Chains A and B, each alone.
Chain A
Amino acid sequence: MVKDLADKYGRTRESLMPILQDIVKKHNYLTDEAMVEVATELDISAAEVYGTASFYTFLDTEERGKNVIRVCKTITCSMKGKIDIISTLEEILKIKVGETTPDKMFTLLETNCIGWCHKAPAMLINDMPYTDLTPESVIDIIKGYMRK
């Protein structure tokens, strides 16, 4: 896969971000093996790849589930009931913030402002934003993902 991505984006340094982003999109996070492979394709050191990846919150270098939930914790979402959203998610998924479910289906994280303050509280599941959340709507949303 890494070779295909390098063929697609090229093997210069500026291809690094798009390649890493595509790997995360497909495999949820960057394994050590994947980063070494990218380094080989781009002919740079693996430390350069890890150093770049670890700078970016969305380029996870730790194991993540198939669906990464990022609940906004910045001020407006925090004022509008983020705590209830988190506790609902912890309850239904039976994990704490920062953890992944044993079946590797969900990872629960907090994140900084995602740009939906007028419809707070909000969260992202993978790329998709969910807004005006209530504990009830969160349960429906998660059940939807569980059925998929």
Chain B
Amino acid sequence: MNSKALTKVDLIFESIDAREVLTTAFSMPNEKIIDQVLESGLRGRGGAGFPTGMKWKFTAAEKDPEKYIVCNADEGEPGTFKDREILDRVVYKVYGGMAIAGKAIGAKKGFIYLRGEYRFLLPQLYLELHKFHKMIAEIGYDFNIEYRMGSGAYICGEESALFESIEGFRGEPRNKPPYPTTSGLFCKPTSINNVETLVTAMMIIAKGPQEYVKLGTKDSRGSKVFSVSGDTPVPGIYELELGMTVQQFVDEFGDGDTKAVQVGGASGFCVPRKKFEETIIGFEGVPTGGSMKLFNSSRSMYNVLHNYLDFFAEESCGQCTPCRVGCQQLLKGVEKVKKGEAKSTYLNELVKLADTMKVASKCGLGQSVGNAFKSIVENFREEIIY
């Protein structure tokens, strides 16, 4: 197995001369910007991991003169808080990344959808936005960014639900296709990227893709900002090179008694101690939008699972039946098993339901409930039953 050592990196929060990078980017042919991002191997940092360069390429190929770049700052995955830190510390790089993306795809307008829980950041974000618009005007380029606020709906982090919300509707995901690159915000070609993805893209243009590919592995290039919480003496935000194993992660951040790590939040995977050595954190192993929660042996995995299912039952938008009813039934089901009202074999039925939700749900929410459910039930079955 080709795992890498745990290495701390400082790319996202490093100060750069934004004016210089943007002046260079604006003088580059659009194809060259896209080629550099493609070459870097950058994949979306929100969690789903779609290749960023491909997204830009598809949007650029659309003929519509009106296109949008949307920054997804609706960070709501339990255990994720890195986008807030990025916005707080280096928002000028988010704006810069959006301008570069806009140049690449041919969009003059950008929107940032910020979750309502981060509204307190707005005054300083607007202050920086004012500076950014002034700088862009001085460079002699035409690009404009506006904020739109969320109002406490986790599902609005799903790209098409986010568009619905900006357009003034209930945040219910759309059917796909068409994909956002063809028909996104206001039914126009749209590239929607996570906060960290946009900053990383700007750093790739600043430093060159050759520098970036030196970091990470074949499937997971570069570095990533991790949000570390739970049973750890050092909770916080860390930028790490991709490709380490869960064991290496636990050696650095654990409290010496770690029994499981939830990688990727409530919609991610639970890795038990016996699989720490063999599991790589990245797209070849367990992918993550950055959420890393450590649980030590004092924690009940039933409580963890129950908390996640309660979360999903509340946050399911209710539009499609597999997700709406599925989340409720999984929650009720584990409660029944715990209370002894259902036999332990009932868990097998619930696993089948989770599988059905994966294939039958309309969007990523319902499709990923089974990740945490199955990985916790399979690895900690006795804790769920007794």
Chain A residues at the B interface, C-beta cutoff of 8 Å: 12-18, 20-21, 51-52, 55-59, 73-76, 78-79, 111-120, 124, 127-129
Tally of chain B residues near chain A (CB < 8 A):
48
15 additional contacts, CB 8 Å, given A58-B151, A127-B120? A13-B167, A13-B169, A17-B148, A17-B165, A21-B149, A21-B151, A55-B170, A55-B171, A79-B231, A112-B78, A115-B81, A118-B81, A118-B237, A119-B235, A124-B117
Q: How far is the CA of A78 from the CA of B266 in the complex (A)?
A: 14
- Contact status of A76 and B165, CB under 8 A, knowing A58-B116, A112-B311, A112-B314: no
A85 to chain B minimum Cβ distance, whole angstroms, is 16
- The 7 sampled A-B contact pairs (Cβ below 8 Å) are A13-B168, A21-B149, A58-B151, A59-B151, A59-B152, A79-B299, A128-B120
Output the residue of A17, A73, A112 with the most chain B CB within 10 A.
A112
Q: Give every chain B residue within 8 A of A76 (Cβ-Cβ).
A: 78-79, 229-230, 293
Most buried by B among A14, A55, A56: A55
Nearest Cβ on chain B to A48's Cβ, whole angstroms = 9
- The reply on B119 being an interface residue by CB < 8 A is yes
Q: Which residues of A contact B236 (CB under 8 A)?
A: 118
Is B196's beta carbon under 8 Å from chain A? no
Kindly identify, within residues 218 to 243 of chain B, every residue whose CB is under 8 Å from any CB belonging to chain A: 227-231, 235-237
For residue A59, which residues in chain B have a CB less than 8 angstroms away from its CB? 151-152
- Residue B154, interface by CB 8 Å: yes
Kindly list chain A residues whose C-beta atoms are within 8 Å of the C-beta of B192. none
A19's nearest neighbour on chain B, judged by CB, is B168
B-side interface mostly: mixed
A115 partner residues in chain B, CB cutoff 8 A: 75-76, 80-81, 84, 115, 117-118
Which A residue sits closest to B232, measured CB to CB? A118
Cβ–Cβ < 8 Å partners of A58 in chain B? 116, 151-152
Closest chain B residue, CB of each to CB of A115: B81
Could you tell me which B residues sit within 8 Å of A by CB distance?
75-81, 84, 115-120, 148-154, 165-172, 227-231, 235-237, 266, 293, 299, 303-304, 307-308, 311, 314-315, 317
- The 8 Å CB contact of B154, one of A13, A112, A127, is A112
- The complex places the Cα of A52 from the Cα of B156 at a distance, in Å, of 13
A14 with B168: CB separation less than 8 A: yes
A79 / chain B contacts, CB cutoff of 8 Å: 230-231, 299
Most buried by A among B148, B166, B230, B231: B230
Contacts of A118 in B (CB 8 A): 81, 227-229, 235-237
Distance (whole angstroms) from the CB of A78 to the closest CB of chain B:
6
Q: State A119–B315 Cα separation when bound (angstroms).
A: 23
With A14-B168, A52-B168, A52-B170 as given contacts, are A117 and B149 in contact (CB-CB < 8 Å)?
no
- Chain B residues lying within 8 Å of A119, measured Cβ to Cβ, are 235
From residue A130, how far is it (CB to closest CB) to chain B in Å? 11
Nearest-neighbor residue (CB-CB) of A53 within chain B: B151
CB neighbours (8 Å) of A13 from chain B are 167-169
- Kindly identify which residue among A52, A120, A128 contacts B169, using a CB–CB cutoff of 8 Å: A52
Chain A contacts of B115 at CB under 8 A?
115
Select from chain B the residue with minimum beta-carbon distance to A124: B117
Rounded to whole Å, the gap between the CB of A104 and the closest CB of chain B is 21
Partner of A75, one of B75, B151, B237, B308: B308
Q: Which chain B residues lie closer than 8 Å to A74 at the CB level?
A: 78, 266, 307, 311
Tell me the bound Cα distance from A74 to B303 in angstroms: 11
| Smallest CB gap from A44: residue in B | B168
Report chain B residues within 8 Å CB of A12: 168
Beta-carbon nearest neighbor of B315 in chain A: A112
